[in-house]
Amino acid sequence: MKKVLVLGASGGMGYALVMELASRGIEVIAFARNKEKLDELFGHMSLVTTVSGDIFIIESLMKAATGVDSIFHAANIPYSQWHVKLRQLVSNIIKVSEAQSTKLIFADSIYSYGRKPNELVREDSPKYPHTVKGKLRLENEQLIKQSTVPTLIAHFPDFYGPHASNTLLHFTLNPVAKNKKTRFIGDPTIAREFIYTPDGAKALVNLALTEKAYHQNWNIPAYDVITGEEIIKILREELNYEKKVSIVTKGMIQFLGLFSKNMREVVEMFYLNEEPVILSGEKYEAEIGRLPKTPYKDGIIATINQIKQQQI
């Protein structure tokens, strides 16, 4: 792997992937919509070329992919656009990968697994998604597997980390970094997974550099499970955070959905706060090696420090 394209490079996982790939001496084309943001993030890095473009304009994508040997897909779009645009997004990536004869490394969510109460989810666990978004994710996975592109699909729990702003934990951590009152989404007594994006990027690049990893699905779990109460305790004890933390319930999200299309879409996925999907990393550790795992305390502190630096 000498030169790669990272789609969604300005997002949480995209940013972490660019940083991880460049740290290994791999040339990176960082692709996203906002050129100014890309240059701010990566303009100082000699191995990174920033390219702005629209992932839905195939000519733009094709040009960015010229000369690369692998494409890392970490781009995402708002929930409200999934119904009409998600399939097109994946179709464009497949077409470009086929035309440029690249490998495809696909960062995916846990949505396609559906409900898995009290079950440690492995790669061979059956996928019976009960939500529209889960069904769309599974359809896209099937679309990829029907193509001729050498692909590996990695399932991740919810992200948190530097520049991972469109996430549940960022919703909590961003006000903390500003020493303001904050809110936690979901029942704070229920343990679930949040993966630190630099850990996820390391694991995904390890897979991408392993030839036998292609034409397979992989689960990349977090350090461990953690409750909202434990997260709040870290904020209190490690950061001396003393402001109020309110709890956002499903009913509150449903009420906001009366006024916001995006919030209506969030309601559908709220089950993950009540019945968390917990991934097994057994396959990865048996075939690739030890999973990168940053303790929550360290990851949360690093994330908040990055938010503070961004405010300066």
Domain locations in the chain? 3-163+194-222+275-294, 168-188+226-273
Per-residue pLDDT tens over the stretch 178-222: 999 999 999 999 999 999 999 999 999 999 999 999 999 999 999
**How far is Cα 161 from Cα 120, in angstroms, rounded to an integer?**
24
In this predicted structure, the answer to whether residue 261 has a pLDDT above a threshold of 70 is no
Please report the pLDDT score of residue 309 as a whole number. Answer: 87
The fraction of the chain above a pLDDT of 70, given in percent, is: 97
Does domain 3-163+194-222+275-294 fall under CATH 3.40.50.720? My reply is: yes
In this predicted structure, the answer to whether residue 118 has a pLDDT above a threshold of 90 is no
In this predicted structure, the answer to whether residue 226 has a pLDDT above a threshold of 90 is yes
Distance of CA 167 to the CA centre of its chain: 9
Please report the pLDDT score of residue 262 as a whole number. Answer: 65
Q: Summarize the confidence of residues 233-259 as an average pLDDT.
A: 87
Q: Summarize the confidence of residues 215-242 as an average pLDDT.
A: 96
Helices (H), the chain: 12-23, 35-42, 58-64, 82-100, 132-145, 168-177, 197-208, 228-239, 250-256, 261-268, 271-274, 282-287, 296-311
Please report the pLDDT score of residue 259 as a whole number. Answer: 55
Per-residue pLDDT tens over the stretch 33-68: 999 999 999 999 999 999 999 999 999 999 999 999
Binned at pLDDT 50, 70 and 90, residue 258 comes out as: low
In this predicted structure, the answer to whether residue 149 has a pLDDT above a threshold of 90 is yes
pLDDT averaged over every residue in the chain: 94
Binned at pLDDT 50, 70 and 90, residue 255 comes out as: confident
- DSSP secondary-structure letter at 125? S
In this predicted structure, the answer to whether residue 266 has a pLDDT above a threshold of 90 is no
Please report the pLDDT score of residue 252 as a whole number. Answer: 83
Here the tokens at position 109 are 């969510």
Binned at pLDDT 50, 70 and 90, residue 80 comes out as: confident
The fraction of the chain above a pLDDT of 90, given in percent, is: 88
Binned at pLDDT 50, 70 and 90, residue 147 comes out as: very high
The sign of the dihedral angle between the CA atoms of 202, 170, 266, 272 is positive
In this predicted structure, the answer to whether residue 311 has a pLDDT above a threshold of 90 is no
CB 172 within 8 A of CB 184: yes
Residues 6+ apart with CB under 8 A from 126: none
In this predicted structure, the answer to whether residue 264 has a pLDDT above a threshold of 90 is no
In this predicted structure, the answer to whether residue 167 has a pLDDT above a threshold of 80 is yes
Please report the pLDDT score of residue 256 as a whole number. Answer: 67
